[in-house]
Structure formats: structure tokens, C-alpha cells
Amino acid sequence: MRRWIRLLGSLTLAVPLLIAIAAVLAWGTLYEMRFGTAAVQRFIYHGWWFQALLAFLAVNLAIAAASRYPWKRHQLPFLLAHLGIILILVGGIIGGRFGVEGQLVIPEGQAERTLELPQNVLVVHQPNPDLQHVIPMQFESRAWVHEPNLTIPVSLGGRMISLTVDRYYPDAVADEEITDDGAKEYPAVQVRLAHEEHQDVIWFMSRDPERFGVGWGEAHVLFLEPQTPEQFKQLLGSPAQDAHPRGVIALTLPGMTHPREVPVPDEPNHVVEVSGTPYRITFKDYFPDFAMTEEGPRSQSTQPNNPAVSFVLAGPEGADAYMLFALHPDFQTLHGFAHQIPAHISYTHPTAASLPPNCIGLIRDPSGTLVAVLTGSGTERSVVNPVRIGTSYTHPSLGYQVEVAAYYPRARVTQRITNRTDEIRAEAIHVVAREGEQSAATWLTLRGSAHLTLGAEPIHLEYRPAQRELPMTIKLLDFRKIDYPGTDMAAGFESDVELTDPQRGIMVMRKISMNNPLRYRGFSFYQSSYIPGRTEMTVLSVRNDPGTPLVYAGFLIIIAGVVSLFVLRAPATAAAARRKAGHPHPRSRST
């Protein structure tokens, strides 16, 4: 046993171990240049095998130091150097295993507490009932493997779904082809937008919640499809005030000859009995600006940009969960939602019959004709009826040039994904979902999502960076970009933030700049970058490393070891100098 212990602490083992670590670090530098920081951290620096090498080196140093016990005074520098290196290695291992690192992107005037991590996840969500499964992905650590063929079993309630990721492209290029030969109606328009030196060509789909509109410069560009002639008339003119700001549910239940309207209440979990019938509605939630997140459905803002309502309709046949969108009434039909109660239900909202200021609204009337409504910052608006394909129109107040290049009432979207290089630039995965004998497939780009019709209920897939909730909320009060005098080059960034910790009842205001991070509860917030726009956004790098105190202590101990080396050598050096000069030691006596 002693022989093996001596071998573990010997120089014979330390030399090849140091050479191996140096070789891995050199390889890591080249790997990072090729695939990026996130990939090298996941595959090398945070890998169990590399951290095992560091732990092995720490054990070698500890045994080498312990083998010289009892220690002499002149061995103090040696012991301090070994102890400092051991602490640095242990601190690095702890930080790699238990540390947290990510980014916060905060628009000016808004608050954020969800940290975006460097790792990616595949999120599987079933809207009815609300179930979710998050799967960690590691494809970026081996970016050269383009056909991983990874199969993952997913349990959602009583369903067993098999997901297979058969392709991974680190540098994906999407080539989309849109034709007018679809099997059913799916309106799409191709719009050319131009202003000064800026030009864009964008496809809009009126029935797609993610592609019916976009913000371009100071304008809102929308492609809408009103469901009734009344809605169409209201979109062309000034909308009247609505008595129901959250919208109205219209129901035609078994035994009814005419629909019955039920306003969406202000309070969640509100139960409404449908008089004269055995049915009742339990309103669950209202989303003025619907978005899907890792925690489920959420509202991005209080503005009615994409109003949606969730509720449960219960009756003798059972209970059905609904998620209805005012701007996309065909959402449930397109995605194959099945219900037990044979009911016809629609959701209307005041925003569906109004346009925001500075809007370029393309409207498909009930006959299929395109009409454009251009609104100003106030009540002014101009109407183009009909819109001619290939004709350029000018927004009266913004001066933007608008042209409808193509209009397809029965659009069919075909997407082709190819890969350019192994560099991680625009990640995409191809997912095949299977349940029983049914299957469906889709491409997912990073931060992209897709709905798949599968089994009794459709599923929602999302490929995005992993997220983690922070114990505090950061609100961006003001962002400043400081330029070098006489140039547009940034000399620095500053963010005035408000930190709120509801658990401890603390609220503080601080300025975060390039060399002035905010530190709180072990988390450090660094000013990393910013995103320009009408609403500026700050990018904060966030780090929580529990191994940092050990690393700092290790460096201080190494410095102390270097200092002790000179302190202990000083008397010996002075004595040697006196002997060389022929002077006796001060304590020596002549006989």
C-alpha cells in the first residue's frame, strides 16, 4: 500500500499528468476557436474526465506534501505552494460542477429574473391538459456529428411519446419555398418594405400566431383576416369603445339554435353557469400578449398584441380545456384539438377590430380581396382598396415604401434546411415524434418552436437555451452608451438597475458598468453588451461560482509561499556572504 501511495505522490506520475493537462488545454484552445466557448466548456472544461485529471493532480500534490511530514522550517515555501495549487484546483472543480453562468437580456423599463444558460434544451408541451417535459441537449459539444440519432422516451400524463433527433446542424441555413398550391386556404402575402437605405422582404401568414405581424422600424406591419363583415368595417374605420376590454366568448352548445355570448371576466378561476343548460365555463387565465415559455403560457406584456383566453367547458359529456386566440380563430382546428362536448366556440377581442398607431395593416376581406389601412400616430388613417400586386405605396406619416409582391390565398410552405460548416452559428435539429402508429416530423431552429398533430392531442416543441429563475428581479431603469469623443464607437456601457429580493424584502438601486459589477447573494452581474433599437436592451452576464473563494485563497497562499521563500533565504544568504568575505558568524567565539 505504501508503495502505491508513494507512486501517487511521485514526480514520476506528476510529469506525465502535467503534460496531459497542458495538451488538453492546447486542444481546448483550438476547439474553442472552431466551435465556440459554450461547446468547449461543455465538452472539455466541465467534462467529468478533465475535472478528474485536475482532481488527480490535486491528490498527487497533497500526497507529495504529506510524505515530507514532519515538516521543517525551510520547507514552508514548498508546503504553501502545494497548498495554494490544491485550493485553486479544488475551487475550479467546484465552480465547474456547481457554478451558474448565463445572461440576462432586459429591455429598458422592464424587469427580468429568468437567466438564459449556455446549455440548450428541447421542451415538449401538451396544451390540453397543461403538461410539460424539458430535455437537456448536448449536441453543441460534438458539433461535427450531424446525425446523432438520439431517441428519447417522453411521458406526458398517460401518453408515451418517442422523440428521435436524427439530424443536428450547427450552422444551418433555412431555404423556404412558398407556393400557391396548398390543399386548403392558408392566406400568405410577400411584402417589400423600404425606407432610405433599409430594405426587407417578409412573408406574412394571417393564420400563423408567429408570422402574422412584425415590428419594422417605427411601424407595426400586420396581415389580418377578419371573421365577420362588422370586424372588417371596424378595421377600415375608427374603432368604437368596447364594453368588454378582455373580449367575449360566443358559444353554441347542444340544444341551442343561436350563440350565447359570455364576457371574459377580470378574475381568474371564475365560474360562469350557462343558464338554461347543464354546462358551465371555468375561466382559467387571460393573456393580453400570449407567449409560450418553459413555465408554460405567459403574457409578454400588458398590451393586447396577441390576446388569448384559457377556460374549461364542463357538462354531462365531460370537461374540455380550451385555449383560444382572438387573432387566430382557426388555431385549435389547424392543430387537431379534440373535444368531448360538441360545441362551437369562438373568441373575439376589441383589438381584433382595431389597428395600433403607425400601422401598415393588410386586411383580407371576406371575398378574398386585399385592402391596406395605413394609420398615423393619432387618429389619421388612409385606406387603399384594393391593393394591387406589385404597386408601391407610401405610408403618409412615416414615409415607408410598401409593396405587396405576392398574394397566395392557398399557400403551401416547404422548408429545406442545409448545413454550411461545423462552426456553431445557427443551430437546428430535426425531430421525429412517434406515438403508437402515428408519427410527425419538424425542423427546429434555436429559439424556434413548432406544433405537431399527434395522437389525441397535439404537442408543442421548442428548442431553446435552458433557463433558470434567479432569487431576485433586475429592472432596467436606464441604459447609456458612452462613445469616444467625435465618433460612434462605444467607449463603455452603463445600466441603472433596480434589484428586488421579495424573499428578504430588499430593494436596491445600483449602476452597472464595464468594470463595476453588481454583486448580491453570491451572484455577480457584469455589463456585457447591449441591443440597440427603439427600446434599448442591456445584456448582463451573470455568474455564481461557489469555488471562487477557494481560488482566491489559493493565489494568496502561493504569493505567501513566494514571500516566505525570500524571507527564509535571507539569513542563509547573509551568512554565506560573510563566510566568503572571511568574517566569522556573529555568534562564533575565538579560542
Contact 517, 526 (CB under 8 A): yes
> Cβ of 35: how many Cβ atoms within 10 Å?
21
Dihedral pair phi/psi, residue 465, rounded to 5°: -65, 150
Decide if 170 contacts 424 (C-beta within 8 A).
Answer: yes
Q: What are phi and psi of 32, to 5 degrees?
A: -65, -40
* Residue 481 β-bridge partners: 493
CA 508 to chain centre: 26
- Alpha-carbon distance of 35 to 28, in angstroms, equals 10
Q: What is the pLDDT of residue 400?
A: 94
Cis peptide before 259 (omega within 30 of 0): no
Q: Which residues lie closer than 8 Å to 2 by C-beta, 6 or more apart?
A: none
Q: How many angstroms separate the Cα of 469 from the Cα of each of 15, 293, 478?
A: 44, 12, 23
How far, in Å, CA of 19 to CA of 14, rounded?
9
CA-to-CA distance for 376 and 387, rounded, in angstroms?
Answer: 19
Question: Quick check: helix, strand or coil at residue 349?
Answer: coil
286 to each of 291, 327, 457, how far by Cα in Å? 12, 14, 22
Q: Give the 3-state secondary structure of residue 22.
A: helix
SS3 358: coil
The answer to whether the CB of 195 falls within 8 A of the CB of 401 is yes
- Give CA–CA dist 365/225, Å, rounded: 7
Listed residue (427, 431, 451, 430) closest to 125, CA to CA: 451
- Cis preceding linkage at 458, omega within 30: no
- The identity of residue 69, as a single letter, is Y
Q: Is the peptide bond before 77 cis (omega within 30 degrees of 0)?
A: no
Cell 391596406 sits on residue: 372
Q: Burial letters for 240-251: b for 16+ Cβ neighbours within 10 Å, e otherwise?
A: eebeeebbbbeb
Question: What does the pLDDT profile of the chain (591 residues) look like in tens digits?
Answer: 777 877 787 888 889 999 999 999 999 898 888 777 777 887 888 888 999 999 999 999 999 888 888 888 888 888 999 999 999 999 999 988 888 999 999 988 889 999 999 889 999 998 777 788 999 998 988 888 999 999 999 998 888 999 999 999 999 998 888 999 988 899 999 999 999 889 999 999 998 877 888 889 889 899 998 877 877 887 887 555 556 788 889 899 888 888 888 999 988 888 999 888 999 999 988 988 887 765 567 787 777 778 889 898 998 888 888 888 887 777 766 666 667 888 889 888 876 557 878 899 999 988 889 999 998 877 778 889 899 999 999 998 899 999 999 999 999 988 889 999 888 888 999 999 999 889 999 999 998 888 898 877 889 999 999 999 999 999 999 998 888 887 777 778 899 999 999 999 899 999 999 889 999 999 999 999 888 877 788 999 999 999 989 999 999 999 998 998 888 776 766 667 777 776 555 555 543
Task: Write the CB contacts of 169 (distance below 8 Å, at least 6 apart in sequence).
Answer: 146, 417, 418, 419, 427, 428, 429
Cell numbers that stand for 66 in this block: 504529506
- Residue 496 CB: number of other CB atoms within 10 A? 16
Residue 582 CB partners (closer than 8 Å, separation 6+): none
State how beta strands 359-364 and 219-224 pair: parallel
pTM tops 0.85: no
474 in Cβ contact with 498 (< 8 Å): yes
Q: Please give the distance of CA 367 from its chain centroid, rounded to a whole number.
A: 41
The closest of 130, 484, 519, 72 to 296, measured between CA atoms, is 130
CB neighbourhood size of 106 (10 A): 22
pLDDT at site 146: 93
Q: How far apart are CA 355 and CA 350, in angstroms?
A: 10
Query: 517: which strand partners?
Result: none
- Torsion over CA: 20, 24, 29, 33 (sign): positive
Residue with cell 353554441: 252
